Amino acid sequence: MDVIVLADRKGQELLPLTDNTCIPLLPLAGKTLLEHTLEALVQAGLRQAHIVLSPYAEEVKGYFGTGERWGMALTYSTSRGEESAVQVLASLANPPESPFLILRGDVLRSNVIGEFLAQAETSTAACLQAQFAGDNAFMMLCREPRPAALANLDWEQTLQACEQVEIAEGVVNKLDSLAAFHQANLAAAAGRIRLLLPGLQTALGMTQGRNSQVHPQSLKQGAAFIGAYCNVHPSVELSGEVVIGDHVIIDQCAVITDSVIMPHSYIGEMVEVRNAIVRGNELIRVDSGAVLKITDAFLLADLNTNPIHQGLGSVYNRILGALLLILSLPLWLLASIAVLLKNPTAPLNKQVLRGNKIILDDFGLPQRAEFVVWQLNVTMPVLRYLPRLLAVISGDLRVVGGLPVSIEQAVQRMEDWEKFADQAPAGLVGPTHLLIPVNATAEEKLLSDSFYWANFSIQQDFRYMAQALRAVFSRKAWFGEV
């Protein structure tokens, strides 16, 4: 049977958890949500599915691939996000053959698909919709190509009449709020939602992922799921229902009660977390929905490092910048003469741009820092931007990267595709500097940075460096527009 999995929710309801990932990739009790959906399909004997994605589609495809790991054959397409199911079906290159199962893959289900299909077999209706506890279970069996009732699968539902099948057992959780997400995690840890948890039961009520260090006596009462590669100090107290994601460190004497700790978080010494979701340095209170950013890294911290400027890459860039500065010394002499002849009273222009260094803002959020750079008041581009070499040495710019922009320009980038270009580090040279005309539209420059980042490779950076060196001797570098 053909299966269509709609996994294109935009995830506004689960912000801030979805501000740098999508709902299908959101970790829930040690696995991504879409992984739970695929496992539920396999349990129901369904081995192939077509998945409709929207935000972070490339990341989802990269993670699930052909689906072999789950014993499935997966294909993908994309939507603009929360598109109507009717429209999604119309846009499929290979529409499913009737009868087919269509369901949302961005809600949590446990043990309901098999029962629904078994019950559906007893009916001859053209379209059957699953109901759970009187509510929409976002799952349909269709015996005709595009029934109007498909609208009932839209995230923004427009309810259409359809024959319904009530599912008596199992669980369906829409995950339509932070509280629902929190509850689903706790229920999975306690076994109220039956999921295949990735770990072994090491003590009564405690399931532990691979390579995690946790002492059974830490669990004072209740149930806990601890993901992979975690380090929980023996003096830590876990009580109620607790879910700890992968790569989490919990320091001594911390107390965790009825909470979800998202992957890559650090909980400091003697910190008490109760009825909350912790993600990095954010404490999300489930009862009030308040999000507290903790600036003191001894209390809560994000163990994920920002890839833009960490590691040896940054050091190599700065050394390369110093080398380029030495090589450019004759140009500085020429620039000094040119600027004194042309604009002796105002030889420099000040610019404030957004660089690559990461600082924490007042709310403890990592931000790219601004830096001041001077431009020489001459018409020759190659001389005009010479002072930017100093920004490479200081680590504010990389040698190769995207076009540096001001904070004001950056905050105007609101759309998902615009923000993608923002992930590119700012550079002294790059495809946008070298190939895109100065008078090109802002969109063209932004997309050039997007393409650069989407196809990023070290070899490509070397090619741009070689191109930039050649460009120094070109007519455009000396007589081009600035």
Partner 1 sequence: MVINEQKHDDIDIVVLSGRFVMADAPEVRERLKTLVEAGQGKLLVNMESVTFIDSSACAVLISAFKAMQLKTGRLVLVNSPIVQSLIELTRLHTVFEIMPNAEAAIAALAAG
Peptide bond into 16 cis (omega under 30): yes
Closest separation between CB of residue 5 and partner 1, Å? 17
Q: Which of 93, 1, 28 is nearest to 261 (CA)?
A: 28
- Paired tokens of 52: 């409709």
Q: Smaller CB distance to partner 1: residue 34 or 249?
A: 34
Q: Does 19 bind partner 1 (CB under 8 A)?
A: no
Q: Which of 375, 355, 250 is nearest to 242 (CA)?
A: 250
Total site size for partner 1, rule CB under 8 A: 30
- Paired tokens of 262: 């998202």
Q: Which of 32, 37, 54, 110 binds partner 1 (CB under 8 A)?
A: 54
Closest separation between CB of residue 22 and partner 1, Å? 11
Beta bridge partners of 249: 231, 266
Q: Does 444 bind partner 1 (CB under 8 A)?
A: yes
Kindly write down the DSSP assignment for every residue of 93-156, as one continuous string.
SSPPPSSEEEEESSSEEES-HHHHHHHHTT---SEEEEEETTEEEEEEEESSSS-GGGGGGSSS
Q: Smaller CB distance to partner 1: residue 95 or 199?
A: 95
* 334 touches 328 (CB < 8 A): no
Q: Does 257 bind partner 1 (CB under 8 A)?
A: no
- Paired tokens of 421: 């270009």
Closest separation between CB of residue 453 and partner 1, Å? 9
> What x/- string results for residues 376 through 415 when contact with partner 1 is judged by CB under 8 A?
---------------------------------------x
Q: Smaller CB distance to partner 1: residue 144 or 444?
A: 444
Stretch in the footprint of partner 1 (CB under 8 A) among 27-35, 42-50, 391-399, 443-451: 443-451
Closest separation between CB of residue 57 and partner 1, Å? 6
Rule CB under 8 A: which of 320-379 touch partner 1? none
Q: Does 438 bind partner 1 (CB under 8 A)?
A: no
Q: Which of 64, 266, 420, 464 binds partner 1 (CB under 8 A)?
A: 420
Q: Smaller CB distance to partner 1: residue 97 or 415?
A: 415
**CA–CA distance, 61 with 271 (Å, rounded to integer):** 38
Residue 420 identity:
F
Q: Does 317 bind partner 1 (CB under 8 A)?
A: no
Q: Which of 33, 339, 376, 436 binds partner 1 (CB under 8 A)?
A: 436
**CA–CA distance, 7 with 10 (Å, rounded to integer):** 9
Closest separation between CB of residue 309 and partner 1, Å? 23
Q: Which residues contact 304 (CB under 8 A, 6 or more apart)?
A: 264, 280
Rule CB under 8 A: which of 63-122 touch partner 1? 78-81, 87, 90-93
Q: Does 58 bind partner 1 (CB under 8 A)?
A: yes
Q: Does 15 bind partner 1 (CB under 8 A)?
A: no
Closest separation between CB of residue 134 and partner 1, Å? 34
Closest separation between CB of residue 447 and partner 1, Å? 4
**CA–CA distance, 197 with 185 (Å, rounded to integer):** 11
User: What burial class does residue 156 get, using C-beta atoms within 10 Å of its C-beta: 0-12 exposed, 13-18 middle, 19+ buried?
Assistant: exposed
Q: Does 283 bind partner 1 (CB under 8 A)?
A: no
**CA–CA distance, 374 with 393 (Å, rounded to integer):** 14
Q: Smaller CB distance to partner 1: residue 10 or 398?
A: 10
Residue 357 identity:
K
Q: Which of 17, 23, 33, 57 binds partner 1 (CB under 8 A)?
A: 57
Q: Which of 11, 24, 30, 55 binds partner 1 (CB under 8 A)?
A: 55
To the nearest 10°, the Cα dihedral for 463, 469, 470, 474?
A: 140
Cα–Cα distances (Å) from 72 to 50, 59, 67, 113, 141, in that order, read 10, 18, 5, 16, 20
Q: Which residues bind partner 1 (CB under 8 A)?
A: 54-55, 57-58, 78-81, 87, 90-93, 415-417, 420, 431, 435-436, 440-441, 443-444, 447-448, 450-451, 454-455
